[in-house]
Structure 1
Amino acid sequence: MGSTTRMVSARERARAAAAAFRERERSLEAVAVAVEFFTAADHIARVFEVRDREVAAAERKAEQAAAVSVEAGDALVRQMLALGVPPAEVRARLGCSAAELRRAVASGTVTDGAPSAAVEDVSE
């Protein structure tokens, strides 16, 4: 009977060793899943960083293009004023406000290089 007891004991040790092995495997699988998760999270963060840089670059480019267009429009307003068109007529023809007209006048010189005489008259 001694051999039966040893066989039972050996089986119990084998089961315990197998259970411990399975538990280690589950733990390792959990670690692998966690690594995959954090890898994916890092990738997401990098994607958003790239997006943010590209958006910022696009905004800078759009702001520069808008500034060029605003200056071109302002130059045309100053040119009209230099031709003697009354400020009220400039506003009516271009559909701009008195504030926009004042900004256009203040932003530069009239096309002949002299400041506009209409600077004081832009609120007409």
Structure 2
Amino acid sequence: MIVSWCPQQQVLAHPAVACFVSHCGWNSTMEGVRNGVPILCWPYFADQFTNRSYICDIWRTGLAVTLGYGVVTKEEVKSKLEQVIGDEGIAERVGMLRNAARRSIGEGGSSYENFQRFVTLLNE
């Protein structure tokens, strides 16, 4: 499905979503992580290339299209989607990353605790 806009968080949370084709902006990257969805990376500029590196090289939860001369073929997109969807290692790692993110924002998690400290500092 290709649309100009959609409620991305709701779409990514749907169990039918097998892969997220993304420009790799930070919010999109975090929404993919939060929902445990592997990402086919298609960055354009700025931090998107750094985020692609995290997704593909560090977390290993997705693949990237080849940006040769600004053209990506439909054959490459099809091939990469099949690779991402069929890779059990990616599925396992994306699930582990999703669980770690959820623990972090849950009560007692590091992000939760840091936010609580921040609020306390603001109230002093």
TM-score (norm 2): 0.22
State the structure with more CA Rg: 1
Greater helix content: 1
TM-score (norm 1): 0.22
